[in-house]
């Protein structure tokens, strides 16, 4: 091969790489805008760049892994937020049950006092009936 052919091939390769880079970046932006998962399959389908190329080119592979990691991190944050909300709600429910329990214990004590009063009155009635 002569030098001109080699330079032309190198230029074509650079242009193709740049074109692929733009297609991959647009595809990732589109995937994120749609709320879909950024992964090799989805990027390949959306960009028209083969999965083999996405895995082979370090820049593409690292970009997809980075975006996928961001998704996972966002997912973890969302999960943690939901769990914190559930915990807060359950703490409120437990507090309400504890309050109800305290009220029921007071009612139980009052009922016990009333019962003892009734039993005392019943005993007095029996004694008076026995003395008649």
Q: What pLDDT, on a 0 to 100 scale, did the predictor assign at position 70?
A: 66
Distance CA 49, CA 117 (A): 89
On whether the CB atoms of residues 63 and 57 are closer than 8 A, the answer is no
> Which DSSP symbol is given to 50?
-
> Which DSSP symbol is given to 10?
H
Tens digits of residue pLDDT in 38-88? 999 999 999 999 999 999 999 999 989 888 876 666 667 777 888 899 999
pTM of the model: 0.49
| Domain span holding position 36 | 3-131
* Total tally of structural domains belonging to the chain: 1
Show Cβ contacts of residue 42 under 8 Å, excluding neighbours closer than 6 positions. 27, 31, 36
């Amino acid at each position: 091969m002569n030098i001109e052919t080699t330079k032309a091939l190198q230029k074509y390769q650079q242009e193709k790489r740049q074109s692929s880079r733009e297609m991959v970046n647009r595809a990732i932006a589109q995937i994120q805008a749609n709320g879909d998962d950024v992964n090799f399959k989805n990027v390949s389908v959306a960009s028209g760049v083969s999965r083999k190329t996405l895995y082979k080119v370090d820049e593409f592979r690292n970009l997809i892994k980075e975006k996928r990691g961001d998704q996972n991190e966002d997912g973890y944050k969302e999960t943690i937020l939901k769990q914190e909300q559930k915990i807060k709600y359950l703490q409120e429910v437990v507090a309400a049950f504890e309050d109800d329990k305290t009220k029921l214990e007071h009612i139980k004590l009052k009922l016990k006092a009333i019962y003892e009063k009734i039993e005392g009155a019943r005993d007095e009635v029996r004694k008076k009936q026995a003395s008649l």
